[in-house]
Every structure is written in structure tokens, then in C-alpha cells.
Amino acid sequence: MGKIFDPEFMIRSFPEVLQALPTTLFIAFVSGVIGLVIAFIISFIRYANIKILSPLAKVYISFIRGTPDLVQIMLVYYGIPLFLKAINEKFGTSFDVNGVPSIAFAIIALAINAGAYMSETMRSSLLAVDSGQLEACYSVNMTRFQALRKVIIPQTIGIAIPPLSNSLISLIKETSLVFTISIVDIMAQAKIVGARSFRFFEIYIVVSIIYWVVCAVVAFALSKVEVYARRYERKVDS
């Protein structure tokens, strides 16, 4: 009779599962950067209450919040090839519908998802900065752009880093869904390794430990970034 629980299998499996860690981190990093760019754009659109664009931004955020992450990945995975095919038929172009790698779909889907959540963080952080500071900037003949760049945005970043850290950690964990579109990330690699011996409980413990350590390291690094970003506040308080 075989072992009910096999710690030795877990130890042997760690190196194999870790082979897929670079793929997971790459997807999380690239989609996080793109999501942050989207968040900045959307948050400033809503902060400035730009006509037409602001209502569209609200719809975008509402849709992302109201639909599961897996559904969004599937919409991108199946929607983009249809979109490219329609363009080819309409304009006679020759975009290779089958040539788009799966990892690109994953990055686009996760970036769109992260951008919606991060934009709300950025907008609330912008609103948290005292409006009187903007008026003070105007009083010394600063333009709106100069006031935002030199005064408002630096404070906004300091306020936004803790919730943005949570969003990034969530994004790392959400990469576990990309195996559904044939990407060999940590989860897919774990399923492959686990299927050879049907030791799925042990292999998912391995996956849990890897995600836990990665998220702990990211959280620690971002806490240091937060301390650096808010260094001016400490000087004022002292």
C-alpha cells in the first residue's frame, strides 16, 4: 500500500514546478506595468471628469468589477482572433490570427483587469490629497500640469502604494488562471507533475508555498518603496 502523504515527493517536485516561475513572474510584471499605465489614464480621466470619456471609464470599471477574471481571459482569448479576422475581411489585411501567442492574450486580459482596480486606487488617492494644495500651486503661477507633476502626483503615489501593492499581489495570484489557455505557468506545471503520480495534494502544497514566498517577497519590497515614497512626509512630521 502506498503512502497516504509523501513529503519526499514534494521535495523532489519543487525544482520542476519552479521551472515555470519565470513565466508566471513575466506575465505578472508586464501586465502589472501595462495595468498601471491604464490606471493612470483612467484615474485622470475620472479625476478631471472629462466629458464622454469619464462615463465610458465608469462602464469599463463596472464591467471588470462585475465579471469573473476567468471570463475576461476567455473573452480576450477568443475575442481578439475574431477581431483580427474581421479586420482582415474588412480591409484586406493579412494579420496572422493564429500567430498571436497565448501569453499575449493572458497579459492583455490581466492588464485590463488590473487597470480597472488600480484606477480606482489612483483616483481615491488623488482625491485624498488636500485640494487646497492645488489652489496654492495656482497662487504661485503654476500650471495645472506643473501642480500635478510636482506636488499632487508625488503625494498621490505615497498614498496609493499600499493598495496598489495589494493589487499587484492579487495579480500574481490571478496568473494561476492562465493555464486555462494553454500557458505553462506554475499551476500548469504543477498539474503536469502531479498527473504523473496522482499526488495532487502534495503538489498543490508546493504551489501554495511558492506563491506564498513570492507574494511575501513582493510585499516586503513594496513596503520599502512605500517608505521611500513617503520620506518627505516623515521630514515634515519631525
CA 220 from chain centre, in angstroms, equals 17
Contacts of 179 (CB under 8 A, 6+ apart): 185, 187, 188, 191
**pLDDT tens sequence across 80-97:** 999 999 999 988 888 887
pTM: 0.89
Average pLDDT of the residues of the chain:
89
**pLDDT tens sequence across 128-141:** 887 777 778 877 87
Is the pLDDT higher at 104 or at 48? 104
Q: Kindly list the structural domains of the chain, giving each domain's residue range(s) and its CATH number in brackets, ordered by start.
A: 22-183 (1.10.3720.10)
DSSP string, 163-226: HHHHHHHHHHHHGGGGGGGT--SHHHHHHHHHHHHT-HHHHHHHHHHHHHHHHHHHHHHHHHHH
**pLDDT tens sequence across 189-208:** 999 999 988 999 999 999 99
**pLDDT tens sequence across 153-203:** 888 888 888 899 999 999 999 999 999 999 999 999 999 999 988 999 999
